[in-house]
Every structure is written in structure tokens, then in C-alpha cells.
Amino acid sequence: MSARVYAARWVVPVATPPIPHGAVAVRGGHITWVGPKDDAPPGERLDLGDAVLIPGLVNTHTHLELTAMRGFLEELDFRPWIVRLTRARQAVLTHDLLLASAKVGIAEGLLAGVTTYADTCESGVALQAMAEMGVRGIMYQEVFGPDPSQCAASVRGLRERLASLRHWESPRVRLGISPHAPYTVSDELFVAAARLAESAGCPMAVHLAESEAESRLVRDAMGVFADGLRARGIAVAPRGDSPVALLDRLGVLGAQPLLIHCVRATAPDIARMAHHDCAVAHCPASNAKLGHGIAPLLDILAAGVRVGIGTDSVAANNRLDILDEARVALLMQRAATRRGDALTAADALALATRGGALALGLGQEVGTLAVGKRADLAVFSLGSPRTTPAFSPEDALVWAAAGREASLVLVDGEARVRDGRLVAPPADAHAALRDAADALATWRDAGGGG
Ligand SMILES: [Zn+2]
């Protein structure tokens, strides 16, 4: 089998400096060579012209099954937002609609150059969607249960769900576990889920330190989440100084979960995260849109914590574009720190690629352009007014090209996007999504969700 050689005005390996007039050779799904195009090995050559070739982007946190809820939950505060989301999903979105939702989400992500997805999923459809759409990822099966007396039943249900999904696993897609968040999961269930993750060798993810309401529940047993639990007859008591301290006390940080959000992480929290080598999924647009604030990203990075960038669901963001999310991350940190050099575009691009891969434990496979890694690549054209002129590939990509579609995307060396179009669009998924939107609107207009 001969190599394919992809040449572009710039190749950005991420772990090493950009290569002007660079090339990447691919064979058998792997990267076999990276360097100046004039030195490239023989093979079938594709000259991509005025473009930047980067590692496939990594979405470190999303909920693909919720793509049908894009724009459905606007202008709500956090607790009513999550209550309505949960009720609408249960009342309206069937298995087939959730699966179509996940596939359209992946289609959107692929067109934005995203090749790896870390998805937390209630229904379990995202694993099938990732497998069928030919992308890489981890689907963390969500588990809920704020009442300690539900713990055994929740764990039993989780085991059954994992067993029913195993046949979708492959070297490209695998299963993990996600006890959802401190306001939906009892201490007993956190401990049981962490034990299950460790015994099954599964990665784990938790929404953590996202909102003030969550912190008040954990620290003071007060606030809207505490009120909601008491209204359901569930006893509520203070559980720790902070959500991160809670998981440390329970021994859950020892399972090295991916910690999603960490908006409210304090200095002691960050020290705990670093001590246990937990990773963070940083979701700046979701955190801003839902009014939670700005995560202390620079402090988290300074502590040596692995960090990737996530979009969260389109119910909290409206788009699944990781370059755009990298741009938002930059803007937020510069605004928060009042420093114009707080983080560079190259730093943000590294978080969106290598950082995400390391956060997910996939650093040996993807995240940089290096010999031996899987050939997950994304190419963005610079041949439009918006990206002209371009002095540096990282600045052009993050500051100017963000929000534009990729021209070419490969996963394991196979094209998923070519000439800016999906090679295999998900059949009937867009029509199903429109049906889902109609059903959601009908449910809302009939007074669904209270
Ligand atoms: Zn989330």
C-alpha cells in the first residue's frame, strides 16, 4: 500500500513548530511522515494549497443526543433550564430521535474539523452514532440517583446498560461512566460508580463545580437544588467545602475522572485536582451562556492539570465548533485577567487538540501530528477574505477562521469530509431532527415542563 501525501501552505503538528510548505504522509490509517513537502516520501500526492493542516480537533465535552434541543431552552436560569431539558427529553425524544440527534451533532462536528468526541449520554445512543459515523470517541454512560436508597438500583441499571452497549465498542470508540453531578448523584452512588469504573477499566467523567447553586448544595445544604431535593423527600446535609472537596473526601478523585466545567474551582480544589492527576473539560461558551462565570483556566493550567476544550450540548451553546470554542476561551481569559497576552492562539489550538487528547487518555493515539499516531487530520482553507492575509497559522485559525467549515477531514486516514462536504451524510437524520423539533415545540406549547 503506497502512502498518501497531504501538502499544505502550513502544517501545524502542535507539539513542534508549524512547518511552512509542509506535508504529512499517511499509510494504513497512521501518520508515517511529517516535514517540509520538498522532502516528502513518494506516494499519491494531494496539494491542498493555501490551507492549514492540523490534528483533528477534540471536543472534550458534549451531549450529542441533545442536538434536537438547539435553541429550545433559551433565556432560562440553570435549574429551570436543566429541569425542562430533562422533562422534554423524557417526554418527547424517542430512541430514534435521540440517535438522529447524535448523528446530526457529529455531522456538524466533522464539518468543523472535530474527529474525537467525549460525550456524556443518558440514552446510550451516542456510542452507536459515533461508531456508524466513523469518528473517534468515548461515550460516558450517565447515571443518576440523588436518593441514597436508589443507589443499588442505579448501579444495576448502569451495569445492564453498559452490557447492552459493549458490542458497539471498537479501537475507535469506547465506553465510560458518568455519575452526572453532585445535585443528581448521592455520595453512595459516586463511590459505587467510581468502584465500577476502576474494576471495569472504564474512564469516568463528572459535571463538577459548575454553578453557585451546586456549591451551595454541597457546602451549605441550601439553595435551589437543596430545595428541589427536599421537595422530593430526599434528606440534604452539608457534604464538603466544595464539590471538588466532596469528590476528594469520597475517594472519587482517585479514579481520575474527567472533571467537566470547574468554573468555581478554588486554589485548594485545583491542588486536589493536580494531586490526583484529574483532567478538566473547559467549556467557556456554555459557562458564559448559562451565567455560571469564567473558569480559572490559567490557574488550572499553571498547576499542570490536563485540560481540553468542550462545547457542552447545543442546548447550552448552540454550536459544536471547537475552533470557535478555543476563540471564546481566549477572549474569556483575556477579559477576566485584563491581560492581552494571557494565552496565545497557539496555546488555545493546543488545548483544542493535544490538550483534549491528553485529558481523555488518548495522547498516544491522537492530538498531534507525529509519526505513529492515528491519521486524524483536519484542513482549513485560508483562501477567503476572512483569512487574508495570514501571518501565522494558529492566529489565522483561531482568531479568523473559527466558525468556518473544514475542507478536508480524515479519521484513521479515511476521508469523512472532502471539499467541505460530508462524504457520508447521516441518512434521514436531518428530517428526523425537524420532526423532533416540531414535537418539542408542540410539547412546550401544550404546557410541557410546567
Ligand atoms: Zn454537560
- Compute the distance between CA of residue 134 and CA of residue 435 in angstroms, rounded to an integer: 25
Model pLDDT, residue 307? 98
Distance from residue 111's CA to the centre of ligand 1 (Å): 21
Establish whether this prediction's ipTM goes over 0.90.
yes
What confidence tier does 82 reach under pLDDT thresholds 50, 70, 90? confident
Distance from residue 7's CA to the centre of ligand 1 (Å): 37
CB half-sphere exposure, 93, CA atoms < 13 A: 26
Q: Is the dihedral of CA 416, 417, 419, 424 positive or negative?
A: positive
Query: Residue 151 pLDDT > 70, yes or no?
Result: yes
Give the residue from 40, 49, 50, 53 showing the smallest Cα distance to 11.
53
Report cis status (omega within 30 of 0) of the bond before 389.
yes
Distance from residue 362's CA to the centre of ligand 1 (Å): 20
Average pLDDT score over the chain = 96
- Compute the distance between CA of residue 62 and CA of residue 327 in angstroms, rounded to an integer: 17
Q: pLDDT > 70: what percent of the chain?
A: 99
CB 101 within 8 A of CB 65: yes
Q: pLDDT > 90: what percent of the chain?
A: 90
pLDDT per residue as tens digits for the range 340-375: 999 999 999 999 999 999 999 999 999 999 999 999
Cβ-Cβ contacts under 8 Å for 288 (sequence gap 6 or more): 294, 328, 332
Distance from residue 376's CA to the centre of ligand 1 (Å): 25
4-55+374-422 sits in which CATH class? mainly beta
Distance from residue 61's CA to the centre of ligand 1 (Å): 6
Distance from residue 241's CA to the centre of ligand 1 (Å): 23
Which of 274-303 are b and which e, b meaning 16 or more Cβ less than 10 Å from the residue's Cβ?
eebebbbbbbbbbbbbbebbebbbeebbeb
Which residues keep their CB under 5 angstroms from ion ligand 1? 312
What confidence tier does 449 reach under pLDDT thresholds 50, 70, 90? low
CB 410 within 8 A of CB 375: yes
Domain ranges, ordered by start, for the chain: 4-55+374-422, 61-359
Q: Looking at domain 61-359, which of 1.10.10.60, 1.10.10.10, 3.30.70.150, 3.20.20.140 is its CATH number?
A: 3.20.20.140
Q: How is the chain split among helix, strand and coil, in percent rounded to 5?
A: 45, 20, 35
Q: Note whether 4-55+374-422 and 61-359 share their fold.
A: no
Model pLDDT, residue 407? 97
How many Å separate Cα 262 from the centre of its chain? 14
List the 136-143 sheet strands across, edge first.
57-62, 114-121, 136-143, 173-179
Residue entry with cell 513542534: 16
